[in-house]
Amino acid sequence: MASLLWQAKYGVIFSGAGISTRSGIPDFRSPDSGLWAKYDPREVASIGGFVRHPEAFYEWIRPLARTIWDAQPNGAHQATAWLQQQGHIKHIITQNIDGLHQKAGAKGVTEVHGTLYSMTCVLCGRVYQTADYLDELILKGDIPRCPVDQGMLKPNTILFGEQLPYRAIGEARSSAQKADLMLILGTSLEVAPVSELPRYALANNAKLIIINYDKTYLDDQATLVINGDVSEILPQVVAAMQTGKG
């Protein structure tokens, strides 16, 4: 694996929920995560549900927001940041909303499912930093509101029924099309349309490295597949590269 990273001219990382579970952030689509225990995900985490029942949405997202806010990068996030800093990886694409790649020092991360770190007023479209509303969002249990027109503030995460951010998807596709190596970390590639991004890389004859607990639909087209915990495997590869043994 290290040799493939050394040889890459335009390496791209594509990460999913599995890279962050060791940091304490559950995969919210997993039925045993607890996040769906009280709510129907297609209702409470949909844009329609947010508009119709914002109290239920904020009751659902509040513990997740607290977990994300307190979370720290694990070895996999730190390894991806190092690979980028050393030039082995040119671009990082993530499905995660937790900002842990950036906390680890990565730059220019494309967040195809949005971020929890900013919010937008549903009435005027003004954008605010979530950090300024932590009391309302996490501690008080209130619905954050715009100070200008009192419109509800919606976290800039992509809910069911919403369009993916046009600019982010464009960046991700462009990067995948230029890749000669795509490192797929902690995602089972089940969530469309971003699950198709590796196909753009394959169309450019890129090599795929997949590190994930479960199988993916592209395993048979990958150069290398490792089934396991990316937070254990990737740091070991980077450590070998750093000592010149990989």
Helices within 137-229 (DSSP H only): 166-178, 197-203
**Strand ranges across the sheet with 127-129:** 127-129, 114-121, 153-157
Q: Which of 88, 91, 101, 113 is flagged as catalytic?
A: 113
Helices within 122-165 (DSSP H only): 134
Report whether 246 contacts 236 (CB < 8 A).
no
Element (H, E) at 66: helix 54-70
88 is catalytic: no
- CA torsion sign for 224, 226, 231, 234 is negative
Task: Report the alpha-carbon distance of residue 150 to residue 141 in Å, rounded.
Answer: 16
Active-site annotation, residues: 113
